[in-house]
Amino acid sequence: MLKKYIYLLIFCFFALPEAKAQNWGGGVDDAGLHFGFTFQYIASEYKILKKENWPDPFIDQDSGLPVSGSLRSLSSKSSPGFGIGFVVNQRISENADIRFTPSLVFNDRLAYYDFEGTESPIEKKVQATMIDLPLGIKIKSDRRNNFRAYVIGGAKYSMDIASKKRSNDAPNAPMEKFLKNKKNFLSYEAGFGFDLYFEYFKMSPEIKLSYSFKDVLKNDPNPYSAPIDKLLLRHVTFSLFFE
């Protein structure tokens, strides 16, 4: 998955026509504070840390009886999403900026439970509509004609604004319960990208990795949260910034 994004980033660089002179780039590098916008493609996946007794059947607290078979496997796979956002960039020096890039992100997260007695694994989808508030430091190389490489690192605060209807499972039977995530969490981020200069603007393709600091699982007593010790969330984000 990550290789695909790296190839895409390299393609964006080589697809840029060779310029005979430096483009102005809208003068963004000369401004102390400037703004922009971004489009994002996101791939999310859980890192699941299981309890020692994770295969055990789930016992209903009311009846004291098992409501599921033994768990044969528990896994997650990458799920796509997208986001749109803004850029607030404060110039520190010729080779360093502070960046604040608030975004609205739509992304599902997937977990798969293979219980004995079921024909196929049960998919549990967590639908999330997030407001992401990343703050990072961008370290840039010297500009070469209409190209500049950079690395970026920082932290992100995420807040889920999804409807309560998506998480209200009180009337549901135990096997119909939801896998739930915490509404708010922090992540750390690191990535790299290119600044590509045109006459009136700058475009920056970027790849960034994000990992939650702590457990994002909301630990309700049900067959889907019971086998999990910790649930960590990781993102790979491909962004196009226009400034």
Q: Which of 129, 124, 119 is nearest to 227 (CA)?
A: 124
Instruction: Give residue 70's pLDDT.
Output: 94
Kindly tell me if the per-residue pLDDT of 136 is higher than 50.
yes
- Structure tokens given for 43: 């791939």
Which is nearest to 130 in space by CA: 110, 105, 101, 156? Answer: 105
Mean per-residue pLDDT of the chain: 89
CATH number at residue 52: 2.40.160.20
Question: What DSSP string describes the chain?
Answer: -HHHHHHHHHHHHHTSPPPSS---GGGGGG-SEEEEEEEEEEEEEEEEEEPTTTTSPPBPTTT-SB-S--EEEEEEE-EEEEEEEEEEEEEEETTEEEEE--EEEEEEEEEEEEETT-SSPEEEEEEEEEEEEEEEEEEEPPPBTTEEEEEEEEEEEEEE---GGGT--TTS-GGGPPP-B-SEEEEEEEEEEEEEE-SS-EEEEEEEEEEESS--B---SSTTTTTEEEEEEEEEEEEEEE-
Does residue 155 belong to any structural domain of this protein? yes
Domain residues for 142?
Answer: 2-15+25-242
Flag whether 165 is in a domain. Answer: yes
pLDDT score at 188: 97
**192 in a structural domain:** yes
First to last CA, the chain: 27
> CB neighbours of 165 closer than 8 A, spacing ≥ 6?
none
More confident position, 68 or 212: 212
User: Is 101 inside a domain boundary?
Assistant: yes
Mean pLDDT across 87-99: 96
Mean pLDDT value across residues 80-109? 96
Q: Are 180 and 219 a contacting pair, CB within 8 Å?
A: no
Q: How confident is the model at residue 19 (pLDDT cuts 50, 70, 90)?
A: very low
Residue 43 belongs to some domain of the structure: yes
pLDDT at 105: 96
> For the chain, what is the domain count?
1
> Considering the entire predicted model, what is its pTM?
0.86
pLDDT(52) > 90: yes
Rounded to an integer, what distance in angstroms lies between the CA atom of residue 230 and that of residue 227?
Answer: 9
Q: What is the pLDDT of residue 14?
A: 53
Note whether residue 20 is domain-resident: no
- 62-87 pLDDT, tens digit each: 778 888 889 999 999 999 999 999 99
The answer as to whether 181 is a domain residue is yes
Question: pLDDT at position 17, please?
Answer: 45
Question: What integer pLDDT is reported at residue 164 of this predicted model?
Answer: 65
pLDDT > 80? residue 34: yes
Sign for the CA dihedral angle at 38, 196, 93, 211 comes to positive
| Stretch 212-234: mean pLDDT | 94
* Mean pLDDT value across residues 232-240: 96
Residue 146 has pLDDT above 50, yes or no: yes
Q: Give domain status of residue 209, yes or no.
A: yes
For the segment 156-185, what is each residue's pLDDT rounded down to a tens digit? Answer: 999 998 766 667 787 888 899 999 999 999
